[in-house]
Amino acid sequence: MSLARRCSRTACGRAAVCTLTYVYADQTAVLGPLATYAEPHAYDLCERHSERLSAPRGWEVMRLAPDTSSRGPSGDDLLALADAVREAARPPEPAPAIHPADNPQHGTKRGHLRVLSSD
């Protein structure tokens, strides 16, 4: 089983390169870069079918140019990933120990009740 997404057009087995969505309220067909994941109300199209796309009469086709610089992780993405790994690897700071004698009210608090010492 291939993990690459295929064109949604019937009998087309080419790899999908863009995603088509419809905005019915605006009567617009939006053809943009391939979506991150497949959605049930969007159509993945190969290059050939995306070039030949036409919309119903009265509808507008909006073609969003793919961002060629986003073909892989950017420097910011890699730095954010490295920071997240460092943060996850850092040992947790120990919680400070609180003793009843250190409490300015000479008691310890448990829930909504307070235990007071008898001195």
Q: Where are the domains of the chain?
A: 18-68
How sure is the predictor about 8, in pLDDT bands with cuts at 50, 70 and 90? Answer: very high
- pLDDT, tens digit, 9 for 90 and up, residues 55-114: 889 999 999 976 555 566 667 777 888 888 888 888 878 777 666 555 555 555 556 677
How sure is the predictor about 1, in pLDDT bands with cuts at 50, 70 and 90? Answer: very low
Residue type, 115: V
CB-count exposure of residue 74 (10 Å: 0-12, 13-18, 19+): exposed
Confirm if 44 and 38 have CB atoms less than 8 A apart: yes
Q: What is the pTM of this model?
A: 0.54
